[in-house]
Amino acid sequence: MVHGTGLTLALDILTAIGLGAACGLRPFTPALVAGALAAANVTIDFDNTAYSFLEAPGWLLAVAIALVVTMLAARFVPEYAIWVAGLVMGGLLGAGTLEDHHHSPAIGWVLGVLCAVLAAAASRDLFRRVRTRLDAQAAGALPLYAEGASLVVAVVAVLLPPLSIAAVVFLAWLLRGGRRRSGEKYAGLRVLR
């Protein structure tokens, strides 16, 4: 039984980091995915926890409305608002995932928020670099790509939790690569002076 509890904790942690990373990419799609899967009791279930609202129809409707509003009014929604929403959603989903099997939700909050920060930073850097190379119409589609990526990461986090590690490692690699390229660009400018 102890082995099963340790395995459950490990899988819950992996799910929490994957959902946190997905929320850092875009906040609302992972909340819808996790809530819908939890409502269907597919590997996660927020019932009988302090986070049971995450699978409630009213919450899911509110999240769906927020998703539609942020997609339709993307130019008018400040980037920091999406970033903050990602941190909050990552923390909530991480905490709910851990509390589902009676583990400390604090672990989920910390891991969810940290992975959301990593994903938000990595995706922000990537999309800024890509946006400069695209025309206005193509650049306008970048939020759709971010939504698609967050959908895939959220589904994988819930259905195949060990693959969450791959998502987090990839995001860390993207962030490191973006920072290195930025440093090389500025180093080149210093040499020109």
CA distances to 134, 147, 162 from 159, rounded to whole Å, are: 34, 18, 9
3-state secondary structure 98-154: HHHCCCCHHHHHHHHHHHHHHHHHHHHHHHHHHHCCCCHHHHHCHHHHHHHHHHHHH
Q: pLDDT at position 181, please?
A: 60
Dump the DSSP string for 8-37: HHHHHHHHHHHHHHHHHH-SHHHHHHHHHH
Determine if the pTM surpasses 0.85.
Answer: yes
List CB contacts of 82: < 8 A, sequence separation 6 or more: 26, 27, 70
pLDDT digits 0-9 by tens, 79-102: 899 999 999 999 999 999 999 999
pLDDT digits 0-9 by tens, 15-71: 999 999 999 999 999 999 999 999 999 999 999 999 999 999 999 999 999 999 998
Q: How many CA atoms are closer than 13 Å to the CA of 189, on its beta-carbon side?
A: 6
Decide if 34 contacts 158 (C-beta within 8 A). yes
Q: pLDDT at position 27, please?
A: 97
